[in-house]
Amino acid sequence: MTVAAPLQAQTDPQYKVADVAGYTEVSYDAKARLFEQVKSDLRFGDYLYGCYECGICVGACPSAKFYDFSPRRIAQAAAREDVELIYQQMQEDIWECSQCFSCLRCPRGNNPGGIITIMREVAVRNGLASAKEALVGYSRIIYKIMSTGTQVSPDMLGRDAFPDWGPETADVADNLELWRRALPPETMHTTSTGWSVADRTLVELYLIWFETGALDMIAQVDPSLHSILQELMEDRLEEEGIEL
Amino acid sequence: MTIPMRAPVDARRLANPGDEPVVDRRPLEDPRAELLELEREGELIVQKIDREAISVATKYGREKRIQKAHLWHHKSCGQCGHIPGYSTSIFWIMRKLGYDYHDPHDQTSCTAWNYYASATSNTAAQAAVAVRNFAAAYETGYFPLIHCGTSYGHYKEVREQLIRHPELRAQVRDIMTKLGKPLVLPEEIVHYSEWIHALRHEIAAKQVRDVSGIVATVHPACHYHKIVAGDAIYDPDIYGGQRTAVVTGLAEALGAEVRSYSTWFDCCGFGFRHILVQRDFTRSFATLRKIEVMKEEASPDVVLTHDTGCVTTLDKSQFAAQAHGRNVGLAVLSDAQFAALAMGAHPYRVCQLHWHSADYRPLLEKMGIDWEKAWAEFQSDLRRLESGEKRYLDWDDADGLHDGEQPVAGPAGMNTTIEVRDAI
């Protein structure tokens, strides 16, 4: 069953896409199970102590200035164990957070940004619509970091990738290979990675992704990407004679 | 039950084995002491500071020691990838001060940018990536120095999680065993801007360019001074100890004027996922809440900051706002680039300012740097590469020493060649 989005959300292009604004309704038990996953994270107890309702976290929060978003509501919903509201927040709010951790100004020592990190993880692990929508356009980044060990590569600065960064970025794209060879550190003559990462290092990284279940998380939000990464890493580990 | 105030968290939790485990929610006042206690119990290895070090004060008052030399550079993917003059300036300063270092291939990104952006990882994976890198440093004998503010903040989170949660330690130890590595953490987690702060007077002693006419605003990086804030560097003589001392301490040591502005605590607008896939937020926040406010309230020549995302965001976000006629147009540099320029570094060969978007040329002119001449020199370097005379430029080229040029770096004899052993 799908809850109908408010009329404005159906017509106003500023609203989130229907899949998120009118997220799929699930049973209370399903929501409770999601919250249990949040609550059982080993960090949860370190991140949530109580709330004075002072609003300092909201005042410090950059996302609260631009979105209908409040770190205080996140902390309060978690403290009240309001599984209905927490589910709504996991579908609507958590991806607005800037993860700057300005909310750590909380006089009670709450960490709303940290709670959101946990909620995001649970959203990814369970393939919630908000996670899928938030990660549209993000596949290349995930591929890069998981397969090469560096997230930001020079060749991301394609001519058309960042037009809002000005003509200087196009200059970088046009001269990329030559300008990289002009860098004095020998580790940085690369274009497809931030620096040259040793082959053995990558094998160790792949093992970490397998051993911790991090690779499996990708399957829930981007099955195609998961297949590509899994094959790439399994082949490489097999070459090394490592059995999973 | 009685809980000793200074005991390690595990001891506090399990003071009486029959009791329910106590969740100790106080921030760790001395993570170093906790690590050493865990090492004594055989839980992990602590890589010690084993060279000359400078003591600095932290927010919670604990003394933090910054090792001066023999450092393992944990590079930043964002710096190396998109603003490489940030990294090269750090290396260049270290060479000029005569301190040896190791620039490893056996290093991955901390992967925290992706984690904070997409959550496609988990606590154990993040901790294992951190410890793998620390173990790689430990194997070389060089002490880790973290270039990225997010890596620094995230690794401090990881350290706290490993101290507080024995089950996580066990999981990471098991993974490390499979990798043939120990569970090892450094005695201190040190950001490069802390190293620069600790050595700011040595840097100022090598200064060859007068920056007393330069007005700077400082953007303190969120992941430096907000995450596990207790051991960020604070100094009662800088902002009365109410803001972190790094960056500002350096700028003042070099003789620049640092002016405050009302939104200094705001983040830059980076947002992790926003800078890549929701850039309307990033552009708006960076320009409306930071650049415009700085210009209106402080009229600076340059914004100085000390993290990958902050330099990227504040620098790259101005172009679109300029198109809308906003009050932007302000050079953005890392503290390392500013220090290197003050020490005489070449703006293109070392500081690589051609990778920046906001106009830095008025700043260079005010610093007495002929950027047109410098650009012509760099173009000459590029022609040498294009002709096949050289495949890559090196550190001598960075100082213009290949053809008898007087080094832009200033007095002869400042160039220091460092032999870096490949210890792996």
Dihedral, A129, A134, A137, A143 alpha carbons, nearest 10: -90
Say whether pLDDT at B1 is over 90: no
Domain shared by B285 and B354, yes or no: yes
| Partner residue opposite A100 with nearest CB, options B105, B226, B284 | B226
Kindly give the interhelix angle for A83-92 and A71-80, rounded to the nearest 10 degrees. 150
Q: Are residues A122 and A146 in the same domain?
A: no
Total domains in chain A come to 2
In a domain, A234, yes or no: yes
Dihedral angle computed from the Cα positions of residues B68, B36, B170 and A104, in that order, rounded to the nearest 10 degrees? -70
pLDDT at residue A136, rounded to an integer? 87
pLDDT for A25 equals 85
Shared-domain flag, residues B78 and B137: yes
Which ranges of chain A would DSSP assign to H, the alpha helix? Answer: 7-11, 18-21, 28-39, 44-47, 56-60, 62-66, 71-80, 83-92, 112-125, 129-134, 139-148, 167-174, 176-181, 199-211, 214-221, 223-239
For position B405, what pLDDT does the model report? 57
Nearest-by-Cβ selection for B108 from A43, A45, A201: A201
- Note whether residue A21 is domain-resident: no
- Asked if pLDDT for residue B407 goes beyond 80, the answer is no
Q: Answer yes or no: is A158 within a domain.
A: yes
For residues B286 and B358, membership in a common domain is answered with: yes
Residues B174, B228 within the same domain: no
B87 touching A (Cβ < 8 Å): yes
Mean pLDDT of A12-22: 53
Max intra-chain CA distance, chain B: 76
Contact across the interface for A188 and B88, Cβ inside 8 Å: yes
Task: Specify the residue for token string 């002491």.
Answer: B33
Half-sphere exposure of A174 (CA within 13 A, CB side): 6
pLDDT at B28: 81
Residue A19 has pLDDT above 60, yes or no: no
Measured CA to CA, the distance from residue B226 to residue A107 in angstroms comes to 13
Closest CA to B349 of B409, B308, B390: B409
pLDDT, mean of residues B199-214: 98
| Co-location of B66 and B113 in the same domain | yes
Residue-level pLDDT at B401 = 87
Whole-number pLDDT of residue A242: 86
pLDDT digits (tens, 9 = 90+) for B211-220: 999 999 999 9
Worst-scoring range by mean pLDDT, A88-102, A133-147, B254-268, B337-351? A133-147
Task: Kindly state whether residue A13 falls inside one of the protein's structural domains.
Answer: no
Long-range CB contacts (< 8 A, 24+ apart) of A157-164?
A: A157/B82, A162/B316, A164/B279, A164/B283, A164/B316, A164/B319, A164/B320
Report, as an integer, the average pLDDT of A185-191: 97
Residue A6: DSSP 8-state: P
Q: Are B64 and B94 in contact (CB under 8 A)?
A: no
Is the same domain home to A69 and A157?
Answer: no
User: Same domain for A119 and A214?
Assistant: no
Which among B76, B178, B382 is the nearest to A182, CB-wise? B382
> Are A130 and A36 found together in one domain?
yes
B267 domain residue, yes or no: yes
> In sequence order, what are the beta bridge partners of B54?
B66
Percent of chain B with pLDDT over 70: 89
Tell me what the mean pLDDT of segment B61-90 comes to: 97
B224 and B354 within one domain: yes
Q: Is residue A96 part of a domain?
A: yes
pLDDT at B24 over 70: no
At residue B29, the pLDDT reads: 84
Is there a single domain that holds both residue A162 and residue A210? yes
Q: Domain boundary at A101, A134, A167, which?
A: A134
B222 and B335 co-located in one domain? yes
Q: Are residues A190 and A232 in the same domain?
A: yes
Please report, for the domain that includes residue B59, its CATH number.
Answer: 1.20.1050.140
Q: In 10 A of CB A2, how many CB atoms? A: 10
Mutation target for B interface from A165, A176, A193, A215: give the one with most B CBs within 10 A.
A165
pLDDT of residue B87: 98
Question: Which pLDDT belongs to residue B19?
Answer: 54
Residue B6 has pLDDT above 70, yes or no: no
pLDDT at B416: 35
Overall average pLDDT of the B90-101 stretch: 98
Q: Name the domain count of chain B.
A: 2
What is the average pLDDT value for chain B, to the nearest integer? 91
How is residue B161 written in tokens? 């999680």
Mean pLDDT of chain A: 91
Does A159 lie in the same domain as A98? no
User: Residue A92 domain-assigned?
Assistant: yes
Q: Are residue A203 and residue A127 in the same domain, yes or no?
A: no
Asked if residue A177 is part of any domain, the answer here is: yes
pLDDT band at A7 (very low <50, low <70, confident <90, very high): very low
- Whether A5 is in a domain gets the answer no
Distance from CA of A216 to the nearest CA of B (A): 9
Residues B216 and B175 in one domain: no
Shared-domain flag, residues B265 and B318: yes
Of all residues in chain A, the one with the smallest CA distance to B221 is: A100
Is the full-model pTM beyond 0.80? Answer: yes
Q: Decide if B283 is inside a domain.
A: yes
B116 touches chain A (CB under 8 A): yes
Domain range for B59: 48-192
pLDDT digits (tens, 9 = 90+) for A75-126: 999 999 999 999 999 999 999 999 999 999 999 999 999 999 999 999 999 9
Q: What ipTM was reported for this prediction?
A: 0.92
Q: Which domain holds residue A61?
A: 28-134
Alpha-carbon distances, residue B99 vs B17, B69, B76, B407 (angstroms)? 49, 5, 20, 20
Rounded-to-integer distance, Cα B364 and Cα B367, Å? 5
